[in-house]
Structure 1
Amino acid sequence: MRNEHRGRGFGRPGGWQQADLPDPADVPDWFAGRLPSDWFTGSPVIEIDRDEIVVVGELPISQPEKPAESESGADEAPADKVPNATKEGAIARFRESTRPARMQIANEAQQRYGRSVAWGISVDGQRYLFTHLAVPVMTRLRQPERKVLDTLVDSGVARSRADALAWTVKLAGKHAEAWLEELRGAMRKVDDLRSEGPQGL
């Protein structure tokens, strides 16, 4: 049974979930039961925020048969390296052959969790995302912050203030990922405590 919308309490809604959205805690379990077993190798990686669920699975891919070894002594590609053309073909095959089923699963998940679903695959250590959201975020900046963005634009690092802001967010996230994950964990604990309420009442 789905969780009811939580009431708003004091302070900011904790963690990565909003008080007025369905609880996404069982998203991995739902996808584990809903996804066809032959799509991915192992369980997919699932990332969730307030707007989107991103599902990235390891694509099973086999090496093409190689001709008999030549006696020329020429250097050959490593035995475990998947040729780019093979990866591209596997990606195209998966994307086209699973499109109707992925759309159906995404619609069901959106009805259940109130978030869009994006898909991606991982092949030979590389990650490929299909169409996913680019959500506009409005903010107000004072002159010192605007100068930072304008410097990035004037130097050619970014094409616009919006592009510069996205660049700085990516940079901050890259260098603070461990701290951000610790913060998310702490906020999830606050969410759990808030939902349980005081004991003995």
Structure 2
Amino acid sequence: MHRGWHGHGRGGRGPGRGGWQQADLPGTEDVEAWFAGRLPDGWFTSAPEVTIDREEILIVGELAPVEGEYADTDTGRAERAAAAAGRISRFRESTRDERIEIARQAEHRYGRKVAWGARIGDVEELFTVASVPVMTRLRQPERIVLDTLVDAGVARSRSDALAWAVRLVGQHADEWLTELREAMAKVDELRSKGPTGDSDPQ
């Protein structure tokens, strides 16, 4: 399953040079198929979730559930979560060398770093996820919002506060963001078709 900014033509969408298109980035149209063919059989129970932006490809796969009976109590749920976390940790360690090699090949092919993650039920852990600095200018009212989050202990710094705010928007505006991405994909499709160049009526 794929989510996030999926590249069309040459590169992913996003503001910057070239408008929506990033002409200096390789395309990612076949990224899911490439990983499906490259990942070892048995790593995940189903096709992994693939998220792409201009800097990173994130692969998150579902692992086999942990065995054992856990009571439907706070203690039982905590034990089940701990068992899932242990299995995810084992997967991370046992696949490290091969994941590094796959990431190296994918970085060469797609021009982006590769990050990994695994989940079992509602327990999820991300590995080696890139932290990319983003330059921005904020006016005083916006800075005050960030400083309030810092002063309240919600964030350790303005950059942490900004990341927290972005996550919050993503959680509460998912439907709107999905519609926006679909509209952008349609714009890309129309842009790639271009005018026919035939102005004579038929």
Per the normalisation by structure 1, the TM-score is 0.80
Matching residue of 2:19: 13
> SS of the counterpart of 1:88?
helix
- 1:82-97 to structure 2, matched below 5 A, reads 83-97=80-94
Higher relative contact order (CA 8 A, sep 6+): 1
Indicate if the aligned counterparts of 2:61 and 2:117 stay in contact, CA closer than 8 A. Answer: yes
Structure 1 residue 156 corresponds to structure 2 residue 157: no
Closer/same/farther in 2, CA of residues 142 and 32 from structure 1, 3 Å limit: same
> What is the root-mean-square deviation of aligned Cα atoms in Å?
2.5
Matching residue of 1:102: 99
Using the TM superposition, give the Cα deviation of residue 163 of structure 1 relative to its aligned residue in structure 2, in angstroms: 1.4
- 1:51-66 to structure 2, matched below 5 A, reads 51-64=55-68
> SS of the counterpart of 2:26?
coil
Q: 1:15-46: CA deviations, max 9, x gaps?
A: xx623211112111111111112110010001
Number of residues of Structure 1 aligned to a counterpart in Structure 2: 182
Using the TM superposition, give the Cα deviation of residue 5 of structure 1 relative to its aligned residue in structure 2, in angstroms: 4.7
Indicate if the aligned counterparts of 1:47 and 1:53 stay in contact, CA closer than 8 A. Answer: yes
Per the normalisation by structure 2, the TM-score is 0.80
Give 5+ residue unaligned stretches, structure 1. 67-75
Give 5+ residue unaligned stretches, structure 2. 1-7, 12-16
User: Structure 2 CA distance, aligned partners of 1:163 and 1:62?
Assistant: 34
Give the % identical residues: 58
Matching residue of 1:166: 163
- Within the candidate set 174, 178, 186, 1:177 is matched to 174
- Within the candidate set 19, 26, 37, 1:22 is matched to 26
Structure 1 residue 47 corresponds to structure 2 residue 51: yes
